[in-house]
Amino acid sequence: MQSIDNILKIVADKTGCDDVNSTSDIEHDLGCYGDDFHELIDEYSKKFHVDMTSYLWYFHTGEEGNNIGGSFFKAPYERVDRIPVTPNLLLDFANKGKWDLRYPEHSIPKRRYDLIINLIVLVGAVAFAIYHWFFK
């Protein structure tokens, strides 16, 4: 059985926050978001041997960076209500050995149209830059 102290230590180490308690919302209270949140969850799952098969990231954190396509199509995390992750929740799943959260019914498109638009904009910008570099 894991103890809350083990969970608090990994959360404090990964977030850089000293004021972590068992009910801290890792994203909102500790400011751990996006890639940093994913790194924390990845390290947690490895250290405590938690099967993350059922984990759905978009319920717990967003993405970093600019999302131009998000102006036209919502990203997955904007389509669901956020579910906070706390050290207590992490402790429960560490002791169960699996991410055991029942997510609400939801529908996420199979394709990320927001990212497709971002790719089109990026390719267009690169093509424009190359054209001006070589032909002007």
Backbone angles phi, psi at 37, to 5 degrees: -65, -45
User: Is 79 in contact with 112 (CB distance < 8 Å)?
Assistant: no
Instruction: Give me the chain's average pLDDT, please.
Output: 92
pLDDT in tens, 61-71: 988 877 777 77
Which distant-in-sequence residues (6+ apart) come within 8 Å of 40 by Cβ?
A: 10, 11, 14, 15, 26, 32
The pLDDT value recorded for residue 111 is 87
User: How many CB atoms within 10 Å of residue 131?
Assistant: 10
Crossing angle of the two packed helices 34-47 and 4-15, in degrees rounded to 10? 150
Q: What is the pLDDT of residues 4-47, one digit of tens each?
A: 999 999 999 999 998 999 999 999 999 999 999 999 999 999 99
**pTM tops 0.75:** yes
Total count of residues recorded for the chain: 136
For the chain, the 3-state helix, strand and coil shares in percent, each to the nearest 5, are 50, 0, 50
